[in-house]
Amino acid sequence: MTFNRDKLFEKSLTLSAWLVVILVAAMCLSLVLYALPVFRTTGFGFLFHRLWDPLQGKFGAMPFLVGTLLTSFLALLFSLPFSLAIAIFLGEYFNSGKIALFFQNTTSLLAGIPSVIYGFWGLFVLVPLVRKLEIKLGVLPYGVGIFTASLILSIMIIPYAASVGREVISLVPSELKEAAYALGATRWEVIRHVIFPYARSGIFAGILLSLGRAIGETMAVTMVIGNNNQFPTSLFAPANTMASVIANEFTEATSDVYLSALIAIALLLFLVTTVINIIGRYIIEKLSV
């Protein structure tokens, strides 16, 4: 009877795995089919053109691709020091007790706040501060733009990298750390030469998770990025991401080619996310060796 249960459990897991593969393949295939009209009209130049003007029937995805990558990687750059600091603090210094519980709950709360609340907070609090900074720097004081969207995203993705980093740091064997202390290593040397090398694949996995979260974010970015379809010329300029342009213009698509162009951008977003995940998995495997 136990053997039959094990076999049934194994078959159910296999079926679930194949179901996920079929769903992903079906999603990709449907996006490709609905994106074909714009590729028939503009060719693969759609991916490289900088002009997006639906009124003239000209569609180029490059401004949104650049906007997505700029905001996501800037957000990752801004959030990384804080994510690592929180992960080390909770995984090594305070991994139990009331202080640890308080900070863990606070970090989890950041991940649970709806993105629209981040967007409103960004509009009413962060945008005026960025506008003052832009005035001091001598640039046009839009307030909204890539820099503001990156700041919002950086706050939103901190819990993801911090939570995964905390878990893997807490799993570092105490024998390794005690051996390093016995050899006269300081706490910083233990963190640098023992904890980081042992937990680096897990830490990178958390960073990859937060990057994927940043690439796909829609509502908060839409509210603070400025929604400008022109190619971004600076970090403070208003722009659009692939997710934000879809959210802004999907209901306004009045022609088949226009709708197809938006679906093609969704396909591009899907492919970018997939490529980044594949590269990330490859790096994680290399770090695990």
Range 88-114 average pLDDT:
81
Greatest CA separation found in the chain? Answer: 76
Which phi and psi (to 5°) does residue 58 adopt? -110, 125
Candidate from 5-14, 58-67, 137-146, 176-185 with smallest mean pLDDT: 5-14
Residue 74 confidence (pLDDT): 94
Give pTM, 2 decimals: 0.86
Say what the pLDDT of residue 125 is: 92
d(CA 214, CA 75): 7
On the question of pLDDT at 271 being above 80, the answer is: yes
Alpha-carbon gap, residue 272 to 277, rounded angstroms: 9
Distances (CA, A) of 184 to 96, 194, 216: 25, 13, 46
Tens digit of pLDDT for each residue in 30-52? 989 998 988 888 888 888 888 88
Which residue in 167, 146, 262 sits closest to 214, CA to CA? 146
- 196 by Cβ neighbours in 10 Å (0-12 / 13-18 / 19+) ranks as middle
Between CA 120 and CA 218 the distance in angstroms is: 13
Q: Give the model's pLDDT for residue 289.
A: 60
The rounded distance, in Å, linking the Cα atoms of 171 and 178 is 14
pLDDT digits (tens, 9 = 90+) for 178-202: 888 888 888 888 888 888 888 888 8
74-83, 105-114, 135-144, 146-155: least confidently modelled range: 105-114
pLDDT tens digits, residue range 1-10? 445 777 777 7
- Sign of the dihedral defined by the CA atoms of residues 116, 117, 121, 124, in that order: positive
**Residue 145: strand, helix, or coil:** coil
The alpha carbon dihedral of 87, 89, 94, 99 has a sign of negative
Q: What does CATH list as the number for 2-288?
A: 1.10.3720.10
**Among 201, 169, 202, 181, which Cα is nearest to 85's?**
169
* One-character DSSP codes across 215-255: HH--HHHHHHSB---SPP-STTS-B--HHHHHHHHGGG--S
Q: How confident is the model at residue 288 (pLDDT cuts 50, 70, 90)?
A: low
